[in-house]
Chains A and B, each alone.
Chain A
Amino acid sequence: MPATLGAAIFASDPTLRDDSVAVGRAWYQGLGWGFWVAVAVAVIWVLLAIFAGVLPIQNPDTINFNCLGSGAGPSASHLLGCDTIGRDILSRVIYGSRVSLIVGFASIALSFVVGGPLGALAGYFGGWFDEVWSIVSTVFLSFPSLVLGLVIVSFLGNSEFDIVLIIAIVAWPLLFRVVRAATIEYSQREYVLAAQALGSKRSRILLKIILPDIVPAAITYSLVGVALAIVGEGALSFLGQSVGPPIPTWGNMIAAGMTQMPQYLNLLLAPAVAMFSFILAINFIGDRLRSTLDVREGVL
Chain B
Amino acid sequence: MSKLVVVRRVLEIIVTLVLVTLVTFFFTSKLPGNEAAVICGPAGPACLAKEGALLYLNHPFFPRYLHWLGNLFSGTFGLSAAPTEPIATLLKQSYPITLELVIFSQLIAIVVAVPLAMYSAVRPNKVFDRMSTAATFATLSLPAFIVGPLLRYFFTVKLPWFPGAGSTMPSIGVNPAQNLYVMFLPSLTIAVGSIAVYQRLLRADMIATLEEDFIVMARAKGLTTWRILFRHALRPSTFTVMTVGGVQIGSLIVGAIIGEQVFGLTGLGYQLVLAVTKADLPTVQIITVIVAVAYILMNLIIDFLYTVIDPRVRRARTT
Q: Which residues on A are within 8 Å of B, measured CB to CB?
A: 1, 5-6, 8-14, 17, 135, 138-147, 150-155, 227, 231, 234-235, 238-241, 251, 254-255, 257-258, 261-262, 265, 268, 272, 275-276, 279-280, 283-284, 287, 298, 300
The answer, among A14, A255, A279, for a CB contact under 8 Å with B211, is A14
- Distance between A153 CB and nearest chain B CB, rounded to angstroms: 7
Chain B residues contacting A142 (CB-CB under 8 Å) are 16, 20, 292, 295-296
Residue-by-residue, is B254-282 near A (CB-CB < 8 Å gives 1, otherwise 0)?
Answer: 10011001100000000011001101000
The answer, among A140, A147, A231, for a CB contact under 8 Å with B253, is A147
Q: How far is the CA of A284 from the CA of B219 in the complex (A)?
A: 37
Residue-by-residue, is B235-251 near A (CB-CB < 8 Å gives 1, otherwise 0)?
Answer: 00000100110010111
Q: Is the CB of B244 within 8 A of A298?
A: yes
Chain A residues contacting B253 (CB-CB under 8 Å) are 144, 146-147
What are 14 A-B pairs with beta-carbon distances under 8 A?
A: A14-B213, A17-B211, A135-B15, A135-B19, A138-B16, A150-B273, A151-B27, A154-B276, A239-B258, A258-B153, A272-B149, A279-B141, A283-B137, A284-B137
Shortest beta-carbon contacts, A-B, top 7: A6-B225, A144-B253, A280-B141, A258-B149, A238-B145, A146-B254, A279-B141
Q: Is the CB of B292 within 8 A of A234?
A: no
The answer, among B225, B244, B247, B262, for a CB contact under 8 Å with A258, is B262
Tell me the nearest residue of chain B to A231, going by C-beta.
B143
Q: How far is the CA of A2 from the CA of B273 in the complex (A)?
A: 51
- Distance between A79 CB and nearest chain B CB, rounded to angstroms: 21
Q: Is the CB of B210 within 8 A of A135?
A: no
Q: Report, as a range, how many residues of chain B touch the other chain.
A: 35 or more
Chain A residues contacting B54 (CB-CB under 8 Å) are none
- Distance between A249 CB and nearest chain B CB, rounded to angstroms: 12
Q: Is the CB of A144 within 8 A of B258?
A: no
Chain B residues contacting A258 (CB-CB under 8 Å) are 148-149, 152-153, 262
- Distance between B285 CB and nearest chain A CB, rounded to angstroms: 9
Q: How far is the CA of A12 from the CA of B19 in the complex (A)?
A: 49
Chain B residues contacting A300 (CB-CB under 8 Å) are 244, 247
- Distance between A52 CB and nearest chain B CB, rounded to angstroms: 22
Chain A residues contacting B122 (CB-CB under 8 Å) are 5, 8-9
Chain A residues contacting B27 (CB-CB under 8 Å) are 151-152, 154-155
Chain A residues contacting B210 (CB-CB under 8 Å) are 9-10, 12
The answer, among A14, A139, A144, A276, for a CB contact under 8 Å with B16, is A139
Q: How far is the CA of A143 from the CA of B257 in the complex (A)?
A: 13
- Distance between A224 CB and nearest chain B CB, rounded to angstroms: 10
Tell me the nearest residue of chain A to B122, going by C-beta.
A9
The answer, among A10, A254, A261, for a CB contact under 8 Å with B146, is A254
Q: Which residues on B are within 8 Å of A, measured CB to CB?
A: 12, 15-16, 19-20, 23-24, 27-28, 30-31, 122-124, 137-138, 140-146, 148-150, 152-153, 157, 207, 210-213, 215-216, 219, 224-226, 228-229, 240, 243-244, 247, 249-251, 253-254, 257-258, 261-262, 272-273, 276-277, 279, 284, 288, 291-292, 295-296
Q: How far is the CA of A119 from the CA of B8 in the complex (A)?
A: 23
Chain B residues contacting A141 (CB-CB under 8 Å) are 250
Q: Is the CB of B141 within 8 A of A5?
A: no
Q: Is the CB of B273 within 8 A of A276?
A: no
Q: How far is the CA of A300 from the CA of B228 in the complex (A)?
A: 31
Q: How far is the CA of A281 from the CA of B212 in the complex (A)?
A: 35
The answer, among B149, B261, B273, B284, for a CB contact under 8 Å with A268, is B149
Q: How far is the CA of A231 from the CA of B213 in the complex (A)?
A: 42
Q: Is the CB of B243 within 8 A of A155?
A: no
Chain B residues contacting A272 (CB-CB under 8 Å) are 146, 149-150
Q: How far is the CA of A251 from the CA of B145 in the complex (A)?
A: 8
Chain B residues contacting A240 (CB-CB under 8 Å) are 277
The answer, among A8, A139, A144, A268, for a CB contact under 8 Å with B123, is A8
Chain A residues contacting B19 (CB-CB under 8 Å) are 135, 139
Chain B residues contacting A275 (CB-CB under 8 Å) are 143, 146
Q: Given A144-B295, A147-B253, 16 more contacts at CB 8 Å?
A: A9-B229, A13-B216, A138-B16, A143-B292, A145-B251, A151-B276, A151-B288, A231-B143, A234-B143, A234-B145, A238-B145, A268-B153, A272-B150, A276-B142, A280-B138, A298-B240
Q: How far is the CA of A17 from the CA of B213 in the complex (A)?
A: 13
Chain A residues contacting B229 (CB-CB under 8 Å) are 9
Chain A residues contacting B207 (CB-CB under 8 Å) are 12
Q: Is the CB of A147 within 8 A of B257?
A: yes
Quick one: which of A6, A17, A152, A268 has the most chain B CB within 10 A? A6
Q: Is the CB of B276 within 8 A of A241?
A: yes
Q: How far is the CA of A153 from the CA of B272 in the complex (A)?
A: 12
